[in-house]
Amino acid sequence: MIEPNIFVVGCEKVPNDQNNIHVGGTVPQSWLTFDRNFIYNTLDALNQNRNAAANVGGTFDAVETINALYLQTDLEKKVFNRTLRTNFGVRYVETNSDVDNYVLVAGVQVPTNRKSKYTNTLPSASFAYDLTDDLVWRGSWGKTIKRSSISAIARSFNVSNGGDLIITAGNPGLLLEASTNIDTSVEWYFEKGALLSVSAYKKDIKGRPVTGSTMVPFSSLGLPKELFTANNQTTLTDDPNYPVELRQVRNGEDFSIKGIELAYQQT
């Protein structure tokens, strides 16, 4: 049997005043800890880490290059003797990604490179019309996009805690979140520095990323069971089809948001 080297570390009592917390007589005032030699020599911590199964599923190198072109014009004219201000624009975006990561081929982690390219055209328009000297009608319409975290796309797989049968995987097929937005408002400037307004809006959202979990047979993933603790390795050896939790970011269902807002401001 190995006899570990143990230090007994103590603490001193301190005065019970406003700057210190009094340690009562029933509170332990010493504790046990392993010394450095036991950690490095007896437990052989460094070699244990070196000999552990490599987990490169969460390792990746990614470069994302975004090129964009903007066009915009502003117009102003009189309509029924009132001023109408309009703005029209379009944004063209080209996104190039270059990802180096690992994929599993017959249970072996193989380095791979994946390049992708996609483009988006995002128009927009807005107006402001002076109904009276202190009443303004505004409106806007446009399309926007939102990119997901690069790790949600580029990461192959990751086991962050070998004690849990949970695998986090990337999703190279994850799409952008796209939104079509429309809103209108009426604003009353009833005195200098004061505003009362009512507005209505609607957003149609496609592809919002959500994290989902599914239970899958461990054998379907092709992962080495050495990524897990000894107890879990025994479980997976006895039953290679044992269900494990697979977590992955996916595009959710399309949905809409709409509402009405009231605002009051006065200085």
Average pLDDT of 187-198?
A: 94
Domain definitions of the chain by residue range? 1-52, 57-266
Query: What is the band of 55 on the pLDDT scale with cuts at 50, 70, 90?
Result: low
Higher pLDDT, 45 or 256: 256
Higher pLDDT, 174 or 55: 174
- Proportion of the chain above pLDDT 90, given as a percent: 48
Q: How far apart are CA 251 and CA 249, in angstroms?
A: 7
With a cut of 60, say whether residue 18 has pLDDT above it.
no
Task: Write down the mean pLDDT value for the chain.
Answer: 84
With a cut of 60, say whether residue 8 has pLDDT above it.
no
With a cut of 60, say whether residue 9 has pLDDT above it.
no
The predicted structure's pLDDT at residue 5: 47
The predicted structure's pLDDT at residue 24: 58
With a cut of 70, say whether residue 14 has pLDDT above it.
no
Lowest model confidence (mean pLDDT) among 86-90, 165-169, 238-242? 165-169
**Residues 152-188 pLDDT 10s:** 888 778 787 888 899 888 888 888 999 999 999 999 9
Average pLDDT of 219-245?
A: 88
Lowest model confidence (mean pLDDT) among 119-128, 136-145, 217-226? 217-226
With a cut of 60, say whether residue 20 has pLDDT above it.
no
Architecture of domain 57-266: Beta Barrel (2.40)
Residues in the chain, overall count? 267
